[in-house]
Homo-oligomer: A and B are copies of this chain.
Amino acid sequence: MEYIVKGDIAYNKSLNEFESIHNGYLHVKDGKIVKAMKSLPKELKKKKLIDYTGKLILPGMADLHLHASQFAYKGTLMDVTLLEWLDKYTFPREAAFKDEKHAKKAYKVFVDCLKKSFTTKAVIFATIHLEGTYILCELLEKAGIDAYVGIVDMDRNCPDYISQTVEGARKDNIELIKRLKDFKHVKPCITPRFTVSCTDPMMKMLGEVRKEYGVASQSHLDENEEEIAFVKELCPDAKSYTDTYDRVGLLDHSVMAHCIYVTDEEMKTLKEKDVYLVHCPESNTNVTTGGIMPVRKYLDYGMHVGIGSDVAGGSTLNLFANLKLAIQLSKVINHGGRNNYKPLNAKEALYIGTLGGASYFGKAGSFMEGYDADILVIDDVKGDPSSMKFGIEDRLERLMYNANESFLVAKYIDGRKVYERK
């Protein structure tokens, strides 16, 4: 499959390298980007041209952290504390995914909405249930959305009805890994909920399975101070919260959500271990005991930072809304100019939302040669009328601040159109 996409192209080559082409051409072949160009060379003029003149053409975005099973109640129950929210609402509702009929119904709505969102790559928590998780994987695979999906493992500090045995969890994780062997879009991911809810034997077992099958891994890290104190109590032998994952092989090239209160020593380890840190600004401001990730500090240190909707701590799949809040919170850190903290700008935010996070999937999140042809076609002009005409950079910034899903005209993942606005 080979075609050309025409429109106003913008993408990052790295954190500090941003490219834009007005009325440009994007050459796609066999699901990969060949090249983004200012004009069409003669030999390509006979190829199929998909004309989106006037629309913004951006790389697909990566949502590095979200709980698919919580999607149904996002934006509700936000005025309780994290623990009350988990015990009273989330645990019982995750438990309901034992019922496959329920899982099918709920995950179908989730995947339908994810298709219409700006997300092309996602790293997802399901629930403790093998069959429910597999149903989610099948729906994502069918939708053509590239994703890492994990059974959520937990065996302490949670109600019995949503707790596993170590042996049961081992069996289920291995079974899921095997079932996903021939999936093109969906890959398994070892997913301890977080250290608080996994005993040492559970963590050890998960590290072993990960090593044996060479799969990805994700969890939560350093989200709030209470949690960190509790982890210290639960794991007196660990050097740090980060170490509770590292010592069992669950840190190396993993995806870690939140990472707000990271010590200098943890930073060093996280960088060495090539960890992807996920900024979840919506969630961190919705959950009352959160905080603000010092994104600039991590970027300056050369770490991987991506964005996460963290539905349902976050209330929306809209990653632009998350990036906007990321920019705003980077300014809140600096209120009154007190902290000499350089706020994020829109181009840096685009990087975090695309290449910064999507590179966990390999060559993804950019329009450089050989990258996955994940393409967003966005109507930022009719969607958000103005009496002024802007260049691409201003349009991108405006989009960052005001985009909602109704702006999305079409979405391609790995070169295949997965959504088109009617």
Q: Chain B contacts of A325 at CB under 8 A?
A: 325, 328
Of the listed stretches A262-270, A282-290, A364-372, chain B binds A282-290
| A385 interface residue (CB < 8 Å to B) | yes
Q: Is A105 among interface residues, defined by CB-CB distance under 8 A? A: yes
Q: Are A74 and B401 in contact (CB under 8 A)?
A: yes
Q: Is the CB of B386 within 8 A of A109?
A: yes
Q: How many copies does the complex hold?
A: 2
Please indicate the chain B residues that have their CB under 8 angstroms from the CB of A78 in the complex: 327, 346, 397, 401
Pairwise interchain contact A316-B402, C-beta atoms closer than 8 A: yes
Q: Does A308 contact B (CB under 8 A)?
A: no
Residue A233 CB within 8 A of the other chain: no
Query: Is A51 among interface residues, defined by CB-CB distance under 8 A?
Result: no
A237 within 8 A of B: no
In the complex, the answer to whether A289 meets B335 with C-beta atoms within 8 Å is yes
- Chain B contacts of A77 at CB under 8 A? 394, 397
Q: Residues on A close to B: CB < 8 A?
A: 71-79, 105-106, 108-110, 112-113, 224-225, 282, 285-292, 315-316, 324-325, 327-329, 331-332, 334-337, 343, 345-346, 384-388, 390, 394, 397-402, 404, 406
CA distance A140 to B345 in the complex (A): 35
User: Residues of B contacting A327 with CB < 8 Å?
Assistant: 78
Known: A109-B387, A332-B332, A406-B404. A398 touches B289 (CB 8 A): no
Whole-angstrom CA separation of A113 from B387 in the bound complex: 11
Say whether A106 contacts B406, CB under 8 Å.
no
6 smallest beta-carbon distances between A and B, as pairs? A75-B401, A315-B401, A285-B328, A75-B398, A404-B404, A406-B406
Which chain B positions have C-beta within 8 A of A336? 224-225, 289, 291
Name the residue of chain B whose CB is nearest to the CB of A331: B288
A330 to chain B, nearest CB (A): 9
Question: Contact at B315–A402, with CB atoms within 8 Å?
Answer: yes
Q: How far is the CA of A386 from the CA of B68 in the complex (A)?
A: 12
The answer for the CA separation of A400 and B315 in the assembled complex, in Å, is: 10
Q: Can you spell out 24 A-B residue pairs with CB atoms less than 8 angstroms apart?
A: A72-B388, A74-B401, A75-B397, A75-B398, A75-B401, A76-B394, A76-B397, A77-B397, A78-B346, A78-B401, A224-B336, A285-B328, A285-B329, A285-B331, A286-B328, A289-B336, A292-B332, A315-B401, A315-B402, A316-B402, A325-B328, A329-B332, A404-B404, A404-B406
